[in-house]
Chain A
Amino acid sequence: AQSVTQLDSHVSVSEGTPVLLRCNYSSSYSPSLFWYVQHPNKGLQLLLKYTSAATLVKGINGFEAEFKKSETSFHLTKPSAHMSDAAEYFCVVSDRSGGGADGLTFGKGTHLIIQP
């Protein structure tokens, strides 16, 4: 069985400061890990994915995440927050790369607030 824990339900940062959204996972197999973002009234958009290649993964809009197997973590970071980053962020795990025919397991989400 697989599960995801997002450690913060809300994170608030000032514009221009770094962002850290924390995620821990558990998985019986070698997992694939994803971060999705959801802006209000929009669908879920993939930010980045880890599928057993490089442990530091770069995504869209300046986000990146590092897979740390020893810590079972996949934290999302961005060096400098922008107002447009305000959204809900989901850490997601799959025991098959990309999910395939299998469903994804979502964390509860972290609401990112950007202060001007």
Chain B
Amino acid sequence: EPEVTQTPSHQVTQMGQEVILRCVPISNHLYFYWYRQILGQKVEFLVSFYNNEISEKSEIFDDQFSVERPDGSNFTLKIRSTKLEDSAMYFCAGSGGPGNEQFFGPGTRLTVL
């Protein structure tokens, strides 16, 4: 059964550094998403991506964040200059389209020191 994969599983970085979180969605999916979960808090929507552009973004997704699908398979989330409060689990998801379920990856745990 196809799965969404995410790398790395755990990323430790210094405050102010750039990080790139990578996701490989299921190959026939068209809509892609990033969510995050700060320890002890809710899973929060960050951004959705369709047809090579952002469809929707939450207020969390500020200018420090960007997403890209550079090669038709990988889907990346970049944080330009990390802050302590960016420490969280980041989940990637994909779906085949409106009305379809979202398939989630196992997550990347980002720790900002």
Contacts and interface: CB of A to CB of B under 8 A. Distances in A.
The DSSP consensus for interface residues of chain A is: loop
Q: How large is the interface on B (under 10, 10 to 19, 20 to 34, 35 or more residues)?
A: 20 to 34
B76 to A, nearest CB: 18
Contact of A43 (B42, B99, B100, B106): B106
A103 interface: yes
Contacts of B95: 98-100
Interface in B69-113: 91, 93, 95, 97-107
Contacts of B91: 43-44
A107 interface: yes
Contact of B97 (A90, A100, A103, A104): A100
A16 to B, nearest CB: 29
Contacts, number: 74
A104 B99 CA distance: 12
The DSSP consensus for interface residues of chain B is: strand
A109 interface: yes
A101 B50 contact: yes
Interface residues of A, number: 25
A101 B98 contact: yes
B55 interface: yes
B56 A102 contact: yes
- Give the 6 A-B CB pairs with smallest separation, nearest first: A103-B45, A100-B98, A101-B55, A44-B104, A106-B43, A98-B99
